[in-house]
Structure 1
Amino acid sequence: MSVVNPSVVELLRKALSSNASVNLPGDPDYSNKRWARNAEKTAAIVTHPSTAEDVAQIIAFAQGKSPYDAQPKLDLAIKGGGHAPSGASSSEGGVVIDLNPKMHHVRVDPNTKLAYIQGGALWEEVDEATFPHGMLYRLASVSGVVSHTGVGGLILGGGFGWLCSQYGLVIDNLVQATVVTSLGEILTASDSQNSDLFWAIRGGGANFGVVTEFVLKLHEQRSELWGGILMYPPTALDQLVPEINSWLSERTPVENIHLLFTLGPTGQPMVGTQIVYNGDADTGAKKFERFVKLGPLVTNLGPIPYLELNRMQNPFAQHGSYRMLQGNFIPSVPTGLPIEIVSGLFSLWLNTVTEHQVASSSTFVLELYHPGAYSSVPKEATAYAHRAPTYNIAYLMNWSDPIWTEQSIPTVLALDKEFIKLRDAHFSPELVGEGGYINYQDAESRKAGSSRRFGSHFPRLVEIKRQYDPENLFGKWFALPTKP
């Protein structure tokens, strides 16, 4: 158990701004709650900074640096939205910098179409702040697909979402960030200032410091979209996949689908399509009527207010369960999705939830975003190495019995291993590409795998890591090596 020096804690309290707080177990504002219950740990101290300067002080405290020399070094974790099931935002007996309570504000400049977003904000707060601006069209950012996700983790890992087909990943819309390093420096990172750090945080994860502010481009956005969900029996896959492939061959960047596998209310396997058309209702209904003609068991399509768009997947991602997340890629090719892969994935998922009843609420998602915008960005432009035209897949494991927690990781990694065999039998390595969307690699983040995840960018990321975080203070998530 870590040793906390009470007198040094008081010194820290006095050094922080008036709105910041330092919370010990038993204090009213102490909390270790996370999206995934298996990520919850008992920290010795939970801090709520209010400024970048507060963050710098807490970093110095955790390292036992002046004026906190009497405090032995403590483990440090950074929490934004707290969505990492691996526990990267938690610390057992250490210090947590929780940005969300006091650093979640969003400021919008409608003239420059920029949003200044504090590091602890959630995506729903970004949507609610940006959308009131504009006249005929409102303003919106590329964002995640679950509204209670934190902005920080999603951005630093790349950032896919419903609008990425039109405007690229969230990192492709990042113009500036404020980063507090392990050395206590408060740096502006952009194309013109600390450009190496700016390159690294766009896909290199939380390896380099605490980002206290992101500046994102905003885009004009309709107030209302069209879409919803269709649910089919598994027997529909033989018709559904060819129809999806026909749609893929002619769709535009404003048309997107998520294909999902889940169990219905009575435990029956279901295949779903979440549909989003960023246009008018009449056109959307015509473009997607092919899927309605297949006779879904559930049809829920219609106009969607933009502010509801990023809440569509919330029912599949509520707080309170034990969770683990792992993902991979399927190449986007002119011939579309091989039916053997989709059917094989369904069987792998169904076998998993059937064999492990405790995890029967686990779901599978295949994100069929139009890859044109994000795959056209040069690979060397950002640390995110995987610019090949591909589709993300994600296995979201949910379970209720904590006893199964240790089994969750080998289970989901075994599922992924079988998928890789299935995929690689159909596609060559150059189509699969390199690196990966590390926000969907949470199970893998617990073991060595950084070089594979970051691809050919790994050596440069290591070099930048050694410059800004030489002691690996920020090493809880795909940690980069700091020693030769």
Structure 2
Amino acid sequence: MANLDDFKAKFKGDIVTPRDADYEQALDRWAANAKRRAEVVAFVKDPADVALAIKYARDAGLRIAIRGGGHSAAGTSSSEGGLVIDLSRYLNNVRVDPGQKLAYVQGGANWKTVDEASIKHGLAGVAGTVNHTGVGGLTVGGGYGWLSGLYGLVIDNTVQMTIVTADGSILDANETQNADLFWGVRGGGSNFGVVTEFVFKLHPQRPKVFAGLLVFPPDKVEQIGAFADEWWANVKPDEGMVIGVSRALGNPAIVALIFVNDSEAEGRKRLKKLFDIGPVVDQAKEIPYEELNAITNPMAEWGACYYFKGVLLSNTPAGDLNITKHQRFLDITARMPDHTVSIMHEYFPHAKINSLPADATPYRRDLPGNALIVIQWKENTPENAIKAKEAAHALAELAPEGEAYGNYTPDSDALPVAGAVSADKTKLLYRDNYPRLQAIKKNYDPNMVFNQWHTIVPA
């Protein structure tokens, strides 16, 4: 029988319930519409606290959510009436071993902390593209970003994890210890436990890079598509680009976030044909490396409302960036003056990512790349949320069919509904690797204690 007072007496961290003054603060999330009113928020101090929280939740019949950075637009780091294991308050540190080129990163850290700690030693690791994203959620879903062309996915650069499983066991998982669990978590999401520490490979990194935002008028879409076709066919592993078609408060534009892991002179030389198209805004410059993952932050402000939907890129950029599709985009978004709507086409070189065998990890190794439909709005009303969802699904029809990046999946596609788990989307995501994941789920979480992401049904 669960007893909250007994739980509190053994717990080293902080327990917050609806009766506490800091309860509302404890629910805070990046996406305001992703907040859920938990019965208990457990700010854990160590893996033993995590094990206690899992036991209490199981005994009390509370659904568990894991909160690292709190960046899920789908609400997977929140639990209505459940228990949140929150790593962000105490388990948020990063320790770098420059000799071994390793970063020891606690599960509640964000990428800004990792970037800043690593570059002090002339090193960097693969991260995402928004630096206030949590390390944990991005990593267990696969994780990619500006350095992926050179070094692959975040999971490809993960050498060990400390994981608290459903029965409260605290396990080290790597290639030789608990290797099945190590395989499953690298792309299998939060299905198997709570990761309290990651160990990542780091790589030598120049202190400054060429990066920034360009904005073009919408009538340049065909020229940008033609440029991107030529560039993408010959892309170098130390480059990357995100090209978005966007309508902000009624005003359409084409935006490009560019990156070359070199000097400004070299970057402008490589991307001369893009600059020749004539951006109306050019913020690209040489910046300190640790600022690279902040260039998207103005478009990802904390506390707004968000809806995500991931789709696949076409075979060529011109298949995504053309007048026909752009006109359809404008038609769909024409009656959404209170929403900012974007389709962000992520052109990160995939040769390194896809060079690994299909069964190296659960993450798919045949993806052409992803685009993210992201819709932002301010007033958190059901009407605005419905409008965003309908627009996102209409825009998804412009993309090729297929299951895209798991971290971009909206709630309706991934989460259990009305007490029943729909495995269809999960099977599509993992395909041939799904039966192996089911066997691992049966071994470590047969009762589906962890069920907030692409939920794997035990074999």
TM-score (norm 2): 0.93
In structure 1, what is the equivalent of residue 395 of structure 2?
Answer: 415
- Asked if the contact 1:84–1:442 (Cα under 8 Å) also holds between the matched residues in 2, the reply is no
Deviations 1:283-332 (A, max 9, x none): 11111121111111112221111111000101111111111111111255
Separation of aligned partners in 1, 2:243 and 2:202: 28
Match of 2:148 among 164, 170, 179: 164
Equivalent positions of 1:127-146 (< 5 A) are 127-133=115-121, 138-146=122-130
Equivalent positions of 1:47-446 (< 5 A) are 47-64=42-59, 72-133=60-121, 138-263=122-247, 267-332=250-315, 336-339=316-319, 342-359=322-339, 361-385=340-364, 387-388=365-366, 390-401=368-379, 402-404=381-383, 405-416=385-396, 418-420=397-399, 423=400, 436-443=404-411, 444-446=413-415
**1:14 aligned to 2:2?**
no
AA aligned to 1:307 is E
AA aligned to 2:257 is Q
Cα drift, residue 338 of structure 1 = 3.2
Separation of aligned partners in 2, 1:51 and 1:344: 54
AA aligned to 1:21 is D
AA aligned to 2:457 is P
- Give the CA RMSD over aligned residues: 1.8
Separation of aligned partners in 1, 2:440 and 2:319: 43
Cα drift, residue 339 of structure 1 = 4.3
Structure 2, gaps ≥5 residues long: 417-421
Separation of aligned partners in 2, 1:339 and 1:91: 39
Equivalent positions of 1:27-46 (< 5 A) are 27-30=20-23, 31-46=26-41
- Asked if the contact 1:107–1:129 (Cα under 8 Å) also holds between the matched residues in 2, the reply is yes
Matched residues, percent identical?
Answer: 37
**1:25 aligned to 2:18?**
yes
SS in 1 for 2:162: strand
Cα drift, residue 390 of structure 1 = 1.0
Structure 1, gaps ≥5 residues long: 65-71, 425-431
SS in 2 for 1:381: coil
Cα drift, residue 394 of structure 1 = 0.3
Separation of aligned partners in 2, 1:73 and 1:267: 46
Cα drift, residue 146 of structure 1 = 0.4
SS in 1 for 2:312: strand
Separation of aligned partners in 2, 1:369 and 1:81: 23
Equivalent positions of 1:455-466 (< 5 A) are 455-466=431-442
Separation of aligned partners in 2, 1:61 and 1:26: 18
Cα drift, residue 347 of structure 1 = 3.2
Cα drift, residue 160 of structure 1 = 1.1
Cα drift, residue 268 of structure 1 = 2.3
- Asked if the contact 2:93–2:106 (Cα under 8 Å) also holds between the matched residues in 1, the reply is yes
The total of aligned residue pairs comes to 447
AA aligned to 1:63 is R
- Alpha carbons of 1:344 and 1:216: their partners in 2 closer, same or farther (altered >3 Å)? farther
AA aligned to 1:34 is R
- Asked if the contact 2:244–2:343 (Cα under 8 Å) also holds between the matched residues in 1, the reply is yes
AA aligned to 1:22 is I
- Alpha carbons of 1:345 and 1:175: their partners in 2 closer, same or farther (altered >3 Å)? farther
Cα drift, residue 154 of structure 1 = 0.3
Deviations 1:410-464 (A, max 9, x none): 4322321x124xx36xxxxxxx7xx531011124223631111112111111111
- Asked if the contact 1:372–1:389 (Cα under 8 Å) also holds between the matched residues in 2, the reply is no
- Asked if the contact 1:232–1:272 (Cα under 8 Å) also holds between the matched residues in 2, the reply is yes
Deviations 1:60-91 (A, max 9, x none): 11111xxxxxxx32121111111112211111
- Alpha carbons of 1:343 and 1:470: their partners in 2 closer, same or farther (altered >3 Å)? farther
- Alpha carbons of 1:297 and 1:255: their partners in 2 closer, same or farther (altered >3 Å)? same
SS in 2 for 1:84: coil
Cα drift, residue 195 of structure 1 = 0.7
SS in 2 for 1:253: coil
SS in 1 for 2:246: strand
Separation of aligned partners in 2, 1:400 and 1:37: 9
Cα drift, residue 251 of structure 1 = 2.6
Separation of aligned partners in 2, 1:320 and 1:311: 17
SS in 1 for 2:177: coil
- Asked if the contact 2:165–2:192 (Cα under 8 Å) also holds between the matched residues in 1, the reply is yes
SS in 1 for 2:398: helix
- Asked if the contact 2:242–2:347 (Cα under 8 Å) also holds between the matched residues in 1, the reply is yes
Separation of aligned partners in 1, 2:432 and 2:318: 29
In structure 2, what is the equivalent of residue 67 of structure 1?
Answer: none
Cα drift, residue 193 of structure 1 = 0.7
Cα drift, residue 409 of structure 1 = 3.0
In structure 1, what is the equivalent of residue 419 of structure 2?
Answer: none
AA aligned to 1:40 is K
Separation of aligned partners in 2, 1:407 and 1:471: 36
SS in 1 for 2:338: helix
- Alpha carbons of 1:340 and 1:119: their partners in 2 closer, same or farther (altered >3 Å)? closer
Deviations 1:28-64 (A, max 9, x none): 4431111111111111111111100110011011111
Separation of aligned partners in 1, 2:306 and 2:288: 29
SS in 1 for 2:294: coil
- Asked if the contact 1:327–1:440 (Cα under 8 Å) also holds between the matched residues in 2, the reply is yes
Cα drift, residue 147 of structure 1 = 0.7
AA aligned to 1:193 is Q
SS in 1 for 2:129: coil
- Asked if the contact 1:238–1:339 (Cα under 8 Å) also holds between the matched residues in 2, the reply is no
